[in-house]
């Protein structure tokens, strides 16, 4: 008579033998590492350098736009293709508005000076990406993000939108100019003036 294999009988094999010592060690190592990574999630959330350095609060997008326009009117020093170039004093609150599909204004900042950069959007989510650096930030309508920033390099940089925001997303470029004031003074005293 044919024998049927049921779940009650032990199948052939070696799996029920105790694990080898080395296997136990490796399982312990893997488990310990899992716990380390698990602990890193909350620890990094509190300690990691990726966290925004400043304040955040709700803002009416129209009110933010008004504030940006006031900021532009106060510190405007020039224009580039219709976009105002704004040079705020070091240490001040500076404003950048993302909208479909531009960043306003063009910020002219001083190397080594610290500013509080207020970022917000007028319409939809945008992504602030300072090219070519790995500086990324979500710009969300209705929220004012005040980030403390200190430019460490002089140059002419671009802001790229890295959050898909519609048909003109790829055209959404901005500009940040960082000037090295010490070098500029040295150049001036060197004969220009
Ligand atoms: Cu704004 Cu993409």
- pLDDT tens column, 160-193: 999 999 999 999 999 999 998 777 677 777 644 4
Range of the structural domain that residue 147 is part of: 55-187
User: Quick one: which atom of ligand 1 is closest to the CA of 172?
Assistant: 1
CATH of the domain at 106: 2.60.40.420
Q: Is residue 46 assigned to a domain?
A: no
pLDDT score at 129: 93
Beta bridge partners, 77, equal none
Q: Which atom of ligand 1 is nearest to the CA of 124?
A: 1
Which atom of ligand 1 lies at the shortest distance from residue 126's CA?
Answer: 1
Residue 148's pLDDT is: 87
Determine the Cα–Cα distance for residues 163 and 146; give it in Å rounded to an integer.
20
The answer to whether residue 5 sits within a structural domain is no
**What is the tally of structural domains in the chain?**
1
Domain annotation covers residue 167: yes
User: What pTM, to 2 d.p., does this model score?
Assistant: 0.70
162 token code pair: 């890295």
**Residue 27 belongs to a domain:** no
Instruction: State mean pLDDT over 85-104.
Output: 93
* Residue 80 lies inside a defined structural domain of this protein: yes
Measure Cα distances from 74 to 81, 87, 137 in Å. 19, 9, 26
Q: What is the pLDDT of residues 50-84, one digit of tens each?
A: 666 667 788 899 999 999 999 999 999 988 888 99
CA angle 87, 90, 96 (to 5 degrees): 50
What's the 98 CA to ligand 1 centre distance in angstroms?
A: 8
Determine how β-strand 93-99 pairs with β-strand 115-121.
Answer: parallel
Query: Is 163's C-beta closer than 6 angstroms to any atom of ligand 1?
Result: yes
* 142 part of a folded domain: yes
* Distance spanning both ends of the chain, measured CA to CA: 111
Inside any domain, residue 172: yes
Q: Is residue 40 assigned to a domain?
A: no
Quote the ligand 1 centre to 174 CA distance (angstroms).
Answer: 11
Which residue has a Cα nearest atom 1 of ligand 1? 126
Q: What are the C-alpha distances in Å from 161 to residues 64, 139, 169, 177, 183?
A: 19, 10, 7, 17, 31
Quick one: average pLDDT of 135-157? 89
164 lines ligand 1 (CB under 6 A): yes
Place of tokens 């939809």: 124
Cα→Cα distances 108→100, 122, 156, 166, Å: 22, 22, 9, 28
């Amino acid at each position: 008579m044919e024998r049927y294999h049921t779940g009650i009988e032990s199948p052939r094999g070696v799996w029920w033998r105790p694990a080898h010592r080395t296997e136990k060690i490796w399982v312990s190592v893997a488990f310990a590492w899992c716990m380390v990574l698990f602990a890193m999630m909350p620890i990094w959330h509190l300690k990691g350098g990726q966290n925004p350095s400043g304040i955040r609060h709700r803002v009416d997008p129209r009110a933010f736009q008004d504030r940006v326009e006031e900021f532009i009117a106060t510190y405007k020093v020039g224009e580039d293709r219709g976009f105002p170039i704004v040079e705020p004093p070091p240490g001040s609150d500076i404003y950048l508005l993302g909208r479909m599909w531009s960043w306003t204004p063009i910020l002219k900042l001083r190397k080594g000076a610290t500013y509080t950069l207020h970022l917000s959007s007028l319409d939809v989510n945008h992504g602030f990406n300072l090219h070519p650096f790995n500086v990324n930030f979500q710009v969300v309508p209705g929220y004012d993000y005040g980030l403390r920033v200190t430019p460490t390099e002089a140059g002419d940089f671009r802001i790229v939108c890295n959050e898909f925001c519609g048909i003109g997303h790829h055209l959404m470029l901005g500009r940040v100019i960082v000037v090295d004031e010490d070098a500029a003074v040295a150049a001036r005293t060197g004969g220009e003036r």
